[in-house]
Amino acid sequence: MATTTPTDVIDRSEEIRRIQRKEKWRRRIPLLPALLFTIVVTQIPFLFSLYYSVTEWTIRPARPRTFNGLSNYAELVTNKFFRDALLTSVLMTVSSVLLSLLVGTGLALLLDRKVFGQGFLRTLLITPFLIMPVVASQVWSSQMLSRTFGVVNWLLETVGVDRIEFVSRYPLWSIVLVLVWQWSPFMMLIVLAGLQGQDASVLEAARVDGATSRGIFFQITLPQLRPYLELGLLLGSIYLIQVFDHVEVMTGGRGAANVPYFVYQRSIGGGWSFGQASAFSIVVVVFSIIIATFGLRVLSGLLEGEEAA
């Protein structure tokens, strides 16, 4: 560009608009592959599900797909098995999320102190989270809880209690036990991040002000941990509402079929009535949206904080 003679009024609004438009697209382009891929792979199947859910459609034996309105949904209300599955889902998700958050916080508090071999202990503690769910379920059901070979039962016997076949007697709680075992370490890591991010000078100030350890924990540490606990709640819920592997491996669905497992049983797991199963899965989505609305509010709180900072 040659030296321009500066005049007082240069109308550059057209040029500015062009530059801004170009910049907008330059910013959008890197986002597009991920966005388009996600839309295609996650949203389109969901629309199909929505469509299947208002049809009568069994593929084994193959029958033509017919529109049947909302009768699949009406069926939901009366289907006792579905209601059981729904109750199982709620119990399983709520109890495993809350318990693992509780246990995880406890472990984090223990590990946040000066302990000999801290890093080693943390490494051991996170291992359950890394274990394949199929393997975790298998280890617990056949090597820990099993009536014949289980270590737990062997211990019970040595203290004089009769052996119990835990998994078939308490299928839901056996699954919850394994879920808590796997997810507590994850919660622990999140809470630990929160504890170590604490402002040490605030704690010192509180101590100087004469606060007791208990007081410090409830009045300072816990409020500071809140966003971390919320994040744990959120991520835990996302994954634990979808539990399938543990149900399949530990019980084969006997006595502890949650909604995901129930949908599976009704369709590709042997039921083959896709229309009805789709309606079930839509209900799962509705429930998830309820949780998601809460969850996204948590998230948006986190992002707000980030922007204010």
Partner 1 sequence: MAEVTYKSASRIYPGSEIPAVNALDLEITDGELLVLVGPSGSGKSTALRMLAGLEFVDEGSILINGKDVTLTPPQDRDIAMVFQNYALYPGMTVAENMGFALKQQKVPKEERRRQVEEAARILDLTEYLDRKPKNLSGGQRQRVAMGRAIVRSPQVFLMDEPLSNLDAKLRVQTRTELADLQARLGVTTVYVTHDQVEAMTMGHRVAVLKDGILQQADRPRTLYSEPKNRFVAGFIGSPAMNLFDIDRVDGQLRLGSMTVPLSASTDAALESTSGTSFGFGVRPEHMTLTTEGGLPGEVIVVEELGSEAFIHVKFEHRGSDETIVVRTDGETAIDRGDFVNVTISGPTHVFAESGERIG
Partner 2 sequence: MSGGNTGPVVGARGLGSFLLGIATWIITLLFFFPVFWMVLNGFKEEVDANTDPKLFFDPTLDRFSEVTEDTTGLLSFSEAFANSFWSVLISTIVVMAMAIPAAYALSIRPVEKWRDVLFFFISTKFLPIVAAILPLWIIARDAGLLNTRLVLIILYTAMNLPLAVWMLRSFFNEVPKELIEAASIDGAKISSQIRSVILPIVAPGLAATALLCVIFAWNEFFLAVQLNPVDGTTVPVWVQSNVSSRGNFLAKLSAASTLATLPVVLAGWVAQKRMIRGLAMGAIK
Q: Which stretch binds partner 1 (CB under 8 A): 6-14, 87-95, 146-154, 220-228?
A: 6-14
Tokens 């211990």 belong to residue: 155
Q: Which stretch binds partner 2 (CB under 8 A): 4-12, 73-81, 163-171, 182-190?
A: 182-190
Of 183, 167, 169, the C-alpha closest to 241 is 183
Q: From the list partner 1, partner 2, none, pick the one residue 10 interacts with, judged by a Cβ distance below 5 to 8 Å according to partner type.
A: partner 1
The tokens of 290 are what?
A: 């309820």
Closest separation in Å from C-beta 277 to partner 2: 6
Tell me the C-alpha distance between 250 and 5, whole Å. Answer: 81
Q: Which stretch binds partner 2 (CB under 8 A): 2-10, 94-102, 163-171, 197-205?
A: 197-205
212 scored as a contact of partner 2 (CB under 8 A): no
- Helix, strand, or coil here: 59? strand
Interface map 8-27 toward partner 1 (x if CB under 8 A): x-x-x--xx--x--------
104 scored as a contact of partner 2 (CB under 8 A): no
Tell me the C-alpha distance between 266 and 247, whole Å. Answer: 15
Tell me the C-alpha distance between 126 and 10, whole Å. Answer: 64
Output DSSP code: residue 162: P
Of 295, 290, 183, 152, the C-alpha closest to 246 is 183
Closest separation in Å from C-beta 227 to partner 2: 5
Closest separation in Å from C-beta 177 to partner 1: 45
Residue 58, strand partner residues: 273
Q: From the list partner 2, partner 1, none, pick the one residue 130 interacts with, judged by a Cβ distance below 5 to 8 Å according to partner type.
A: partner 2
**Is the preceding peptide bond at 61 cis, omega within 30 degrees of 0?**
yes
4 scored as a contact of partner 1 (CB under 8 A): yes
Tokens 């202990």 belong to residue: 121
* Run of H or E residues at 66: strand 66-67
Furthest C-alpha separation in the chain = 100
Count of other CB atoms within 10 angstroms of residue 233: 19
3 scored as a contact of partner 1 (CB under 8 A): yes
Interface map 44-83 toward partner 2 (x if CB under 8 A): xxx-xx--x-------------------------------
Count of other CB atoms within 10 angstroms of residue 205: 12
CB-CB contact of 302 with 231 (8 Å): yes
1 scored as a contact of partner 1 (CB under 8 A): yes
Shorter beta-carbon distance to partner 1: residue 4 or 66: 4
Shorter beta-carbon distance to partner 2: residue 37 or 81: 37
Closest separation in Å from C-beta 51 to partner 2: 9
Closest separation in Å from C-beta 128 to partner 1: 35
Q: Which residues bind to partner 1, rule: CB under 8 A?
A: 1, 3-4, 6, 8, 10, 12, 15-16, 19
